[in-house]
Structure 1
Amino acid sequence: MELDAYIQRINFVGTPKPDLKTLAQLQRQHCYNIPYSNLDVQLGRSLNTDIEKSYIKLVEQRQGGWCYEMNGLLGWMLECIGFNVMRMSGGVRRDERGDSAIGNHLVLCVQLDEPWIVDAGLGDGPYEPYPLRPHTFSQRGFSYQLTRSEDYWRLYNYPGGSAPSFDFVHEPADEDQLSEKCQWLSTAAKSPFMSALVFQRVVPGGYDLQVGRVATKILPGGREEHLINSADEFVQSISDRFGLVEPELENLWEGVLEQHELYLASKEKNQ
């Protein structure tokens, strides 16, 4: 695992130092250049929390990844630079799913003048660090809120964000729990990551999102959607918008169409 190769992968300019300015720049560049993706889950590939495998996939193979890979790699690189990093277990939608959600998200805490939350693995969440204290903050016109309850911290994503919120405890992660949850999310039939192919990326002014055949540009003032209508257009969209080239993408097209029809049927049923 080479720091220089990672620096080149994210197009970081300058000499990295263990300070807040560098921390913010590293997270921004990571989010701009490495997309969030559950592609391997959809392709039935084995996933785990091994950081060296994440390095090979995200840096050497120039693919995207999900939170265990994105924050796992980022945390390792930050430690190489000299940052004090703590991995923490998060729970996306814990307010709905209860404590069973804990471990479905990996988030980082970096200790500087105060604790700072660093998260490159939420897809369309904050793209810069934010301090660990209750507050409302804005980044690029998107508003977020961090609250504190008796047991948990909760990050509320911007209104309309794909992950509305996640909870975490400010303490070292249970690594066995993270590993088990990663395995379940990547293989279980009831895993939400099995129901749709998802790509997300931070872009200037907002986020690019693609769920199945629906491509979306998210801006502070709203969103623009486009329905993809062919396998060729599907593959080209992933390449153009997320910088990813995967030979097996075209093989997913028929499944993407089926997932879309199931989504429309579920939506109509719930109206």
Structure 2
Amino acid sequence: MSESNGGVDDTARARDRATVAAQAAEAGAAVAHESFRRNIPVEVKGGKTDVVTQADRDAQRAVIDVIHETYPDDPIVGEEDDERKTVPPEGPAWIIDPIDGTNNYVRELRVFATAVAAVIDGEPVGSAVVLPALGDTYLAGPDGVTRNGDSITVSDRDDPQTCTVCPTIWWDFDEREQYAAATREIVQRFGDMRRFGCAQAVLSMVAAGGLDGVITNVQANPWDSVAGVHLIREAGGTVTDIDGNPWRYDSTGLVASNGVVHDEVLAATQAIDAGNGQ
């Protein structure tokens, strides 16, 4: 799997990295699942809802160990501990979230995920999102996008009144007007709304067609977003920033959809700030 061999083409290199992303995510998810519903102690990192457990750290170490077995010199962008927090614009890197949805995890709710994305020059070439308590593994790479080994695609719903859309990423207590505006725009424009408390899970659900759109007007952390965004794009969907430009790891806003109703999903996202007087 070394990239030092000039005879290996870009597709093969991407396939190698996608394979390692899958292996790393599965290893981290296994560690997280082992401690799930085991009355694990909970720590607070920042605000009252910004929590972490030893399982987060242990799962992150398991993910990194798998990556470094094959790519020992690659930088890691990760949520916990001392891993770097910004994506290098050039060269290979890995973006990981050992437990996305830690608030669900500590409440013994099954919607949490381990997410790993392999990127080169900031662009994902392979990603994996594993939801161990639900038994779902989403993978994307040069050979397509799958859930539990079966090919998936975004939905083909074209009537917003039949669509289900999810607000995601956290609006803190001083931003609840924006949270309220996001939910208002969804319930007024679309058939229904869901919220799961795990960004990588809902992005995966868009890729598989269970959800038709995901919106936020804030900047998403790369570990909460890049792996799932890659799934959606490989499954035929559209992901932009709040201005409708192609989404990047450093974009403001994250607007994801099946592509067919993207204009309406984008309009709902843009109305969050407008409805809040911004």
Is TM more than 0.5 here? no
In the superposition, the TM-score normalised over structure 1's length comes to 0.31
